[in-house]
Amino acid sequence: MTDPAQPTTSEVPQAPKAKAKLKVSVLRCRDAACGALMPFEETDQGYLLGRVLELADVDGEVRYLPCPKCEGRLLLEEYEHAGKIRVRIRDFEPGNSPGTA
Ligand SMILES: [Zn+2]
């Protein structure tokens, strides 16, 4: 059997060097069981767009976004990303409101 040498094993580059394009999605409550949509946008890099800090609620030194559905708190923090100060969700505090479902 003569098999013609075919270059069939040409490796296709699976990861083209795509420029990091910012993907933005609507921020959702961090409670998986809630998942309420928040009036903010979150990039796929994890930081929030817009004047989040100005619109956030303040409790002492904590700034947070209240979830309108489960009344949990999306705690905010500032951090530096690519030389800019960004805001991201640091933690989630579930809202303890028994009886008001
Ligand atoms: Zn929620």
- The stretch 48-74 carries a mean pLDDT of 95
Domain that holds residue 32: 24-93
Residue 79 domain-assigned? Answer: yes
CA 73 to chain centroid, in Å, comes to 15
Q: Establish if 89 belongs to a structural domain.
A: yes
Looking at the domain assignment, is residue 16 inside a domain?
no
In a domain? residue 56: yes
Phi, psi of 77 (to 5 degrees): -145, 150
How many A from CA of 25 to the centre of ligand 1?
A: 17
Q: Is residue 68 part of a domain?
A: yes
Q: Identify the three-state secondary structure at position 52.
A: helix
Q: Is 81 exposed, middle or buried (0-12, 13-18, 19+ CB in 10 A)?
A: middle
Token digits of residue 25: 């999605």
- Percentages helix, strand, coil for the chain, rounded to the nearest 5? 5, 40, 55
Residue 101 clears pLDDT 50, i.e. is over it: no
Question: Which tokens sit at 70?
Answer: 């489960």
Residue 29 CA, ligand 1 centroid: distance in Å: 5
Report the number of distinct structural domains present in the chain: 1
Q: Residue 12 — very low, low, confident or very high, per pLDDT cuts 50/70/90?
A: low
* The pLDDT value given to residue 72: 96
- The per-residue pLDDT for 96 is 73
- Per-residue pLDDT, 100: 45
Residue 66 located in a structural domain:
yes
From CA 26, how far away is CA 35, in angstroms rounded?
11
Q: From the CA of 21, how far away is ligand 1's center (Å)?
A: 28
Q: Is residue 86 domain-resident?
A: yes
Q: What is the mean pLDDT of residues 37-42?
A: 96
Give me the pLDDT at residue 7, please.
Answer: 57
pLDDT category at 39 given cuts 50, 70, 90 is very high
The verdict on pTM exceeding 0.75 is no
Q: Is residue 11 part of a domain?
A: no
